[in-house]
Chain A
Amino acid sequence: MSDASTTPTSTAANTAANTAVKSGGAAAATLIRLSQVGKTYYRGKEAVEVLKNLDLEMPDGAFEALMGPSGSGKSTLLNLIAGLDNVTSGSIQISGVDLSRMSEGERAKWRSQNVGFIFQTYNLMPVLTAAENVELPLLLTSLPSAERKKRALTALRVVGLEERASHRPDQLSGGQQQRVAIARAIVTDPKIIVADEPTGDLDRASADQILELLVKLNKELGKTIVMVTHDPAAAERASIVRRLDKGQLT
């Protein structure tokens, strides 16, 4: 446990010190800004401080990898950026919108419009076909059924699985399931894609295909990708790699 009264470093200094920028180019506008973010969980009466006074800025259009040992707070940070969880202290602003002031319902609506999710174990609905899984996020929009189906097929085409649209997850390989999950993540055209260990359950070849796809989404479609990974090969594909340890950027 760290001392909660640790003096925070300035946002700019922290960001600069803890970021490994691998690609050059003109500085993009900040999309995600974390200010003095703290997150504490309670295990019974015991408080577990997972993130401590974290300052962080992520530029629009970045492909960021978050690395660190288990329990370092990577997934917690990802959940906060994705609006799945709320901060204990500090604030998170995305495109100028302060997530920390939102209610749970407001965050759910915000997520449906702004975030695409990719999970380690794909998290597809086993009883739905690939196309129906991809269509799921569109059910939260007012699009008519025909348009939803059209967009779902377009998303499957982007990931190269249009011909598998009517297959259920158990009829697809792990790599194919993850590509369906990616299609689901992009079908609403969100600003941000969060990926939690997207290659963690895949063999090397499938993992490489998924990473290629993420790079393509980042470079060609301009998606901002925040990826948690233990895999150095995956991190290599990211434009920015950040490391966390004991709830702080190192």
Chain B
Amino acid sequence: MIPVSYNVRSLFVRKATTIATALGIALVVFVLAASQMLSRGVKKTLGSAGSPINGFVMRKGADTEMSSGIETPMVNLIMAAPGVKKDANGNAMGVGEIVMVLALEKLGGTAGQVSNVQLRGVPDNELSFRKEAHLIDGRPAHPGTDEVIIGKRLRGKFKGLELGQTFEVKKNRMASVVGIFEAQGSSHESEIWCDIDLVRTAFGRAGMVSSVTVALQSEGQFDAFKSAMEHDKQLGLQAFRENVYYEKQSEGTAKLVSFLGGAIVFFFSIGAIIGAMITMYAAVSHRKKEVGTLRALGFSRITILSSFLLEAFVLALIGGTFGAVASLGMSLVHFSMMNMASWSEITFSFDPAPDILVRAILIGGLMGIAGGLLPAIRASRTSPVEAMRE
């Protein structure tokens, strides 16, 4: 076997082309890793909004809370279903919520640009029901008032969405921000929570909720709960595990991110592979006499082929590692985009993971091999006699 040091040192003889090629591959790996990290971030943000031990009920046929409507009297019926957990006082643990969308002016971008924000009308016991959510600044909203609390990812992103500020829920109906909450990085952190009656009156949804979420006694109780919800066709309800519902909500956006990332990576990789190919062809041409000498000394064609493939792989790994390390910087970046399920803006984070980085680096390495294959074949076919004549 030809020593790896021969290949590695040869790469650094031609520093400029090596660096240019490595950077090309680094760019592809960066985009690939970043898009995978964002896709994972989307799934995590949307998916982590739900718990497998919670049951989630909507109107049958509704895809999202926005399109779902359940009459208030049915909320008690749902709470009384089998499997629903009760608190120390014997009250069923659950919440009925209404979800609407507000168009608010964005800050920091083009003046006057508006974007949708999800407004969730919640009952008084919301914070005690959703243990994952807690205030990090300010105080809870007083029940029956036009006070709201906002998720921390909205803070300062929209006009009026800052502690102590106000914004218009409906024309001439102002709400004031009294608290900031976080919810373990879930999509709730991109929502405004207010009294359920504020939404009902402002949007003419009296006597309605969008969904009902209940705590189950155990995960195993879900089937009985679902059966109770869906058995009576006249109720017209459908039940999900809460985490499953939110994961389904994330699918479209996560797929879009992955698809866009994949499309960019595809075209970038063609460029990177061609770059690697040109570099390796130049290397083979430049070192024809060296290859001829190795062949004369008795190194087989397959050894020469492997050696140049290894060189291309090492080149790509250098670039890939650089790109993967650079992509880690994206974890500091928050990225706002439209959630295709709710048509409201949600802030996502790039969520790095070892498997994403390793996979991206290996794909970078494979691009090196793809680009290096034809030049390596040419090298392996070098005739020692012809090479010596050069």
Q: Report the Cα distance A33→B257, complex, angstroms.
A: 72
Q: Is the CB of B9 within 8 A of A136?
A: no
Contact pick for B9, options A112, A128, A137, CB 8 Å: A128
- Say whether A21 faces chain B, with CB atoms less than 8 Å apart: no
- Say whether B290 faces chain A, with CB atoms less than 8 Å apart: yes
Contact pick for A82, options B10, B290, B296, B301, CB 8 Å: B296
Task: Report B264-309 residues with CB < 8 Å from chain A CB.
Answer: 289-290, 292-301
A79-B385, A132-B3, A139-B3 given; A108·B9 CB < 8 A:
no
Q: Which residue of A lies closest to B12 (CB)?
A: A127
Q: Is the CB of B300 within 8 A of A108?
A: yes
CB distance from A131 to the nearest CB of B (A): 12
Q: Report the Cα distance A104→B380, complex, angstroms.
A: 12
Q: Which B residues are CB-close (under 8 A) to A95?
A: none
Q: Which A residues are CB-close (under 8 A) to B13?
A: 126-127
Q: Report the Cα distance A157→B294, complex, angstroms.
A: 23
Q: Report the Cα distance A179→B344, complex, angstroms.
A: 76
Contact pick for B299, options A84, A127, A140, CB 8 Å: A140
Q: Which residue of B lies closest to A124 (CB)?
A: B293
Give 1 or 0 for each of A168-209: 1 = CB within 8 Å of chain B CB: 000000000000000010000000000010000000000000
Q: Report the Cα distance A85→B297, complex, angstroms.
A: 13
Q: Report the Cα distance A166→B296, complex, angstroms.
A: 24
- Say whether A2 faces chain B, with CB atoms less than 8 Å apart: no
* Range of interface residues on A (Cβ < 8 Å): 20 to 34
Q: Is the CB of A123 within 8 A of B290?
A: yes
Q: Is the CB of B2 within 8 A of A111?
A: no
Contact pick for A137, options B3, B10, B297, B300, CB 8 Å: B297
Query: Number of A-B pairs whose CB atoms are under 8 Å?
Result: 65
Q: Report the Cα distance A105→B293, complex, angstroms.
A: 15
- Say whether B5 faces chain A, with CB atoms less than 8 Å apart: yes
Give 1 or 0 for each of B6-20: 1 = CB within 8 Å of chain A CB: 100110010000000
Q: Which A residues are CB-close (under 8 A) to B9?
A: 127-128
Contact pick for A112, options B5, B289, B298, CB 8 Å: B298
Q: Which A residues are CB-close (under 8 A) to B289?
A: 121, 123
CB distance from A28 to the nearest CB of B (A): 26
A84-B384, A85-B385 given; A128·B298 CB < 8 A:
no
Q: Is the CB of B299 within 8 A of A128?
A: no
- Say whether A109 faces chain B, with CB atoms less than 8 Å apart: yes
Q: Is the CB of A111 within 8 A of B5?
A: no
A123-B290, A125-B6, A128-B6 given; A140·B298 CB < 8 A:
yes
CB distance from A114 to the nearest CB of B (A): 9
The 22 sampled A-B contact pairs (Cβ below 8 Å) are A79-B385, A84-B296, A84-B384, A85-B385, A105-B301, A108-B295, A109-B298, A111-B297, A112-B298, A112-B299, A119-B293, A121-B289, A123-B292, A123-B388, A126-B290, A128-B3, A128-B6, A132-B3, A136-B2, A136-B294, A137-B298, A139-B1
